[in-house]
Structure 1
Amino acid sequence: MKAIKEKTRRTMAFYLMISPWFIVFLLLGLFPLLYGLYLSFTNYYGFNMDNLRPVGMHNYEMVFTDSDAMYALYRTLVFSLINVPLGTAVALGLALLLNSQVHGGRVFRTIFYLPSIIPAITTIFLWKQLLLSSNGGLFNEFLKLLGLKGVNWLSYDYATFSLILLSTWGAGGGILIFLAGLKGIPTELYESASIDGANAFQRFFKITLPLLTPVIFFNLLNGLIGSLQVYMQPILLTGSELLSRPIKPIYLYVVHAFQQIFGYQRFAYGMALLWVLFVVILVLSIIIFSTNKYWVYSETDEKR
């Protein structure tokens, strides 16, 4: 009886501790999410709550017949297909460099992480005005030093490359996660491999990479979810107002939803766009999780 009372007390204490977070989640997370889903089946445009009426699947049908939405989704998938593996590879490479006991490693670690904590708007304007500007930008000045002609980095031909470069520059968060994973690999494994005659490449592919696969999986999944929701960078790089669309190569899906909601006050349609994106992210996440057993190392997996 005493054990049951102690268990009940601990259970009540647990729920009491998490109740503030749970209440905030219900009020500011789950309720707006479900209310937005409800409004996506109505004719809501922001000022017609008294005249609200259901329209069934009309808004969702519009998503798949809207050529701009489908084009934006396609460009978002292409951008993510390039950006996510590239960002993951860069973060892994820099983490390996920092883990090699390079002189001044703490300084470099801080420098690499800084882009992740600088406000996004500041970062975008920095790149736009100082680095990517066709008139006096640092990239073009560097090209001139090499005897090459400067280019317009925000033009139709180079905008996607510039956006990917900007996104890759902010890989600091991934670097720290990879670095933590590297620190968790027992040094005894490397010492044993060295005694057996394994070189640096063999140690990397036989020890480091397999043991880092859970971290790679985590970074890939989070990178994909974040990449599919990019909207601020394209808007600020080649557009400045709600109704000014970024040029077509970087007209991404959430940019389209953002303009439909805040530019044209098509709230119900915009929420339908975002719920379609939610389903796309969910499906892609399930696909990635389904490949987990084929390439992610797990110490609890008896097959390994």
Structure 2
Amino acid sequence: MKQKTRTTIAFYSMISPWLIIFLGLGLFPLLYGFYLSFTNYYGFNMNDLSFVGLRNYQLVFTDTDAMYALGRTLVFTLFSVPIGLVVAFMLAVMLNGSIKGLGIFRTIFYLPSLVPIFSAIVMWKLMFSGNGGILNTVIGWFGMPEINWLGYDYATVSLVIMMAWGAGGGILIYLAGLKGIPRDLYEASQIDGASGLQRFRKITLPLMTPVIFFNFITGIIGSLQVYLQPIMLNGTEMLSRPIQPNYLYAVHAFQQIFATQRFAYGMALLWVLFVVIMILSIVVFTTSKYWVYYETDQGR
């Protein structure tokens, strides 16, 4: 057997566990779900499964609940992603200094991203509660009236606040990027008389744009797929319907699949969401050439 053949066999043998799991639990369910989205499948009709063409996809765009949920999801993404990016980035800049006890502060700010979702939701429901909730208690100290955080008017605001609280993962990535900026640049600019704000605008921000770009893309993808937080924040059961402002697109798909058992229609909803994510990702990638700075890119 030739050396190249032996190397090839050894390589695929090494990656075979991952490849088998990817094909069995990743690619096959993905393609099978795409196939089911063109059928009348509702969970118990495999024997009389029939092809219905684009009917399920046509239903998506004529379903007022689906279109409302998509609009609310885009609004939620429009606010939650920028807020999460700014909060995580500013905290990372502050945590990049050299102060006493810095490791403790880094742990404190990163810890929320490690808290299980259910525990975090229960905690925030107590925070937002109108009966002795911490937020309303603090507001009361300043003589302001209580706010119904989980009501119709502030439901989305509460959801955005809760999502921004768990920005610890982004902080960690930003810190890694900040540590990669050469200190010589700061020292040289300081010698030239640049202020702290000028160093931040001319050095930190441009060199951090690739990291911001990465977190921006992952933030968009994650926010468009949020479903558990709005369900549990305004309800008590997995199949309960959240308050109308927090009725997001992934929640609608979840309801259609598991509550009403419209599996084929639910698959069509998810594939439409996949197309929306792809379109937004392409837009961000296309526009990134105007604001993302790469040190190795000499053509700009």
Check whether TM > 0.5.
Answer: yes
- Paired AA for residue 54 in structure 2: M
- Out of 25, 40, 43, the position equivalent to 2:40 is 43
Aligned: 1:166 with 2:162: yes
List aligned pairs for 1:247-258, cutoff 5 A: 247-258=243-254
- Paired-residue identity, %: 66
- Scaled by the length of structure 2, the TM-score of the pair is 0.97
**For residues 5 and 290 of structure 1, what CA distance do their matches in structure 2 show?**
45
Q: For 1:81 and 1:233, how far apart are their aligned partners in 2?
A: 17
Change (3 A) 1:195 1:7: farther
Which secondary structure state, in structure 2, belongs to the residue aligned with residue 298 of structure 1?
coil
The structure 2 residue matched to 1:26, chosen from 23, 28, 39, is 23
Whichever residue aligns with residue 63 of structure 1, its letter is V
Q: Distance in 1 between matches of 2:153 and 2:92?
A: 32
- Would the aligned equivalents of 2:76 and 2:156 in 1 still touch at CA under 8 Å? yes
Distance, in Å, in 1 between the alignment partners of 2:285 and 2:37 is: 29
Check if 1:111 corresponds to 2:108. yes
Give structure 2 stretches of 5+ with no counterpart: none
User: Are 2:75 and 1:78 aligned?
Assistant: yes
Query: Which of 260, 266, 276 is the equivalent residue of 1:264?
Result: 260
Alignment partner, residue 123 of structure 2: 126
Whole-Å Cα distance in 2 between the matches of residues 193 and 6 of structure 1? 54
Equivalent-residue separation in structure 2 for 1:58 and 1:113 (angstroms): 46
Q: Distance in 2 between matches of 1:171 and 1:10?
A: 43
Q: Does 1:16 align with 2:8?
A: no
1:207 counterpart = 2:193 = no
Residue in 1 aligned with 2:150? 154
Q: Which residue of 273, 284, 304 corresponds with 2:280?
A: 284
Q: Could you give the per-residue CA deviations for residues 35-80 of structure 1, whole angstroms, max 9, x where no partner exists?
A: 0000010010001111111111110000000000000000000100
Task: Give the letter for the 1:81 counterpart.
Answer: L
Q: Spell out, residue by residue over 1:106-139, the C-alpha distance to the aligned partner (whole angstroms, 9 max, x if none).
A: 111111111111110110011102x000000000
Q: CA deviation at 1:243?
A: 5.0
Cα deviations by residue, 1:250-270 (Å, 9 ceiling, x for unpaired): 110000000000000000000
The alignment status of 1:61 with 2:73, answered yes or no, reads no
Separation in 1, partners of 2:232, 2:277: 24
Matched residues in 1 for 2:239 and 2:260: separation?
8
Q: CA deviation at 1:241?
A: 3.4
Distance apart, 1:10 and its partner CA? 3.0
How many residues matched? Answer: 300
1: CA distance, partners of 2:128 / 2:76: 19
Change (3 A) 1:200 1:24: same
Alignment check: 8 A CA contact 1:242 1:262 kept: no
Q: Give the whole-Å Cα distance in 2 for the aligned partners of 1:13 and 1:291.
A: 42
Would you say the 8 A contact 1:98–1:108 is kept in 2?
Answer: yes
Indicate whether 1:237 and 2:204 are aligned: no
| Cα shift readout 1:8-41 (whole Å, capped 9, x = no counterpart) | 4333322221111011000000000000000010
Secondary structure at the counterpart of residue 244 of structure 1: coil
SS of aligned partner of 2:129: coil
Inter-CA distance 180–242: structure 2 relative to 1 (3 Å threshold): closer
Deviation at 1:5, TM superposition (A): 4.0
State the Cα RMSD in Å. 1.2
Q: Is the Cα contact below 8 Å between 2:217 and 2:281 reproduced in 1?
A: yes
> Are the aligned partners of 1:69 and 1:253 in contact in 2 as well (CA < 8 Å)?
yes
- Tell me the CA shift for residue 143 of structure 1: 0.8
Structure 1 contact 242–263 (Cα < 8 Å) conserved: no
Indicate the SS of the match to 1:291: helix
Distance in 2, matches of 1:138 and 1:91, equals 23
- CA spacing shift, 1:243–1:177, aligned 2, 3 Å: closer
Correspondence for 1:177 among 173, 177, 181: 173
- CA contact 2:232–2:238 (8 Å) conserved in 1: no
Q: Residue deviations 1:122-162, cap 9 Å, x none?
A: 10011102x00000000011011111111110001110110
Is 1:193–2:197 an aligned residue pair? no
